[in-house]
Amino acid sequence: MKYEDLKILAELREKGSITEEEYEREKAKILNEEEKSDTSGGFKKPLFGLDEKSYLTLMHISQLAGFLAPLIGFIIPLIMWIANKEVNPKVDKHGKNIMNFIISFIIYTAILCITIIGIPLAVVVGILYIVFVIIAAVKVNNGEDWKYPLTIEFIK
């Protein structure tokens, strides 16, 4: 916090150099500047009303909706990524990670399903997918970055 700035502002008010109204206005500016910066590199913009950790966790977990309706698990994280990638660099980083993971696992599943023996392996891939998504969501919620294993980096 900028205690020094607040102290100078209070002194100016006491000396009569600025009015009470000017003091309150400038004080609000100083305090708002402090709120805008945080440990994530100064990006504290609203992400659909969620804090950064919750938003990123929801981005990862939303992939599981694909088990209910196949395209939804791709579309929801894609929309969340596109909507806020310019606002927050962590959203951009995690969005790319998620999209690369989804595309990679679609390719793996398609290749495995072409072969007869691959169908049981496709079930294993589906289980791994769920496990990896849960691990990523927990790690993000704890403030850690985690890159999905077995992911081909299509989007850089």
CA 2/CA 34 separation, integer angstroms: 8
The overall average pLDDT reported for the chain is 85
pLDDT at 34: 53
Cβ atoms < 10 Å from Cβ of 68: 8
- Confidence band of 152 (pLDDT split at 50, 70, 90): very high
Helix runs in 16-88, H state only:
20-36, 52-61, 72-84
Share of the chain above pLDDT 90, in %: 47
Q: For residues 50 and 20, what is the distance between their CA atoms, to the nearest angstrom?
A: 35
The token duo for 81 is 């990524």
Amino acid 155: pLDDT: 92
Q: What is the pLDDT of residues 121-136, one digit of tens each?
A: 878 888 999 999 999 9
Distance CA 76, CA 54 (A): 15
Q: What is the pLDDT of residue 33?
A: 66
Helix, coil or strand: residue 50: strand
> Distance (Å, rounded) from C-alpha 68 to C-alpha 48?
24
Tell me the per-residue pLDDT of 65-85, one tens digit each, with 9 for 90 and over. 988 887 899 999 999 999 999
- Residue 56 pLDDT exceeds 90: yes
Tokens of 123: 């079930």
Spell out the residues 6+ positions from residue 85 whose beta carbon is closer than 8 angstroms to its own.
91, 92, 95
pLDDT at 125: 84
CA 64 to CA 67: how far, in whole Å? 6
The full set of domain ranges for the chain reads 3-36, 52-141
Identify the three-state secondary structure at position 47: strand
Q: What single-letter amino acid sits at 125?
A: V
Place 39 in a pLDDT band, splitting at 50, 70 and 90: very low
Rg of the chain, C-alpha, whole Å: 23
Of 112, 109, 104, which Cα lies nearest the Cα of 151? 104
* 64 has a pLDDT exceeding 70: yes
